[in-house]
Amino acid sequence: MEQATKRGFTLVELLVTISVIGILSSIIYANLGGTSGTGHDAKRKSDLRNMQAALEQYKNKNGQYPDMGCTAGSDGFSGENDCSTYISGLAPKFITVLPHDPNRKGKTGYAYTTNSDRTVYKLMAVGTVESET
């Protein structure tokens, strides 16, 4: 008489397999964890370049840079957290719309300031760096 052979995996084999999958998943997740921050940083750089080009076009046409669209906050800057038109007169003629930070959390975003005769400006992304590379 033949004895029936058992098919399937033992409990130890299943536990080892699940453990290996868990370890590999955590390694992959840890490596991909910063990709959204890197993507946000790339978008910010692109937004700042586009705004810089629009500001230069504005100056070429008007002889000076645009005024701050909002009253400067306590930090001396006009930024997107203060109001949506943080650079006066730039959109829609020189840039379709003023961009907003992709994260939009807390005190982060784009800020703009200019001197009183509007011959120089400062444009920046405030409190927004998410990736370290």
Q: Is residue 50 in some structural domain?
A: yes
Q: Is residue 2 in some structural domain?
A: no
The C-alpha atoms of residue 79 and residue 57 are separated, in whole angstroms, by 20
Q: What is the pLDDT of residues 20-67, one digit of tens each?
A: 999 998 888 776 665 566 777 888 889 999 999 999 999 999 999 998
Q: How confident is the model at residue 133 (pLDDT cuts 50, 70, 90)?
A: very low
The C-alpha atoms of residue 89 and residue 55 are separated, in whole angstroms, by 10
Stretch 95-111: mean pLDDT, rounded? 77
Q: Is residue 48 in some structural domain?
A: yes
The C-alpha atoms of residue 43 and residue 80 are separated, in whole angstroms, by 16
Question: pLDDT value at position 128?
Answer: 63
How many domains does the chain fold into? Answer: 1
Question: pLDDT value at position 84?
Answer: 67
Residue of 39, 46, 30, 25 whose CA lies nearest to 133: 39
Residue of 126, 123, 131 whose CA lies nearest to 54: 123
The C-alpha atoms of residue 26 and residue 73 are separated, in whole angstroms, by 43
Question: pLDDT value at position 55?
Answer: 92
Stretch 95-104: mean pLDDT, rounded? 81
| CA-to-CA dists, residue 46 to 9, 10, 85, angstroms | 53, 55, 19
Q: Is residue 44 in some structural domain?
A: yes
The C-alpha atoms of residue 125 and residue 133 are separated, in whole angstroms, by 16
Domain membership of residue 98 as a residue range: 36-126
Q: How confident is the model at residue 79 (pLDDT cuts 50, 70, 90)?
A: low
Q: CB–CB of 79/100 below 8 Å?
A: no
Question: pLDDT value at position 20?
Answer: 93
Per-residue pLDDT at 18 exceeds 50: yes
Q: Is residue 93 in some structural domain?
A: yes
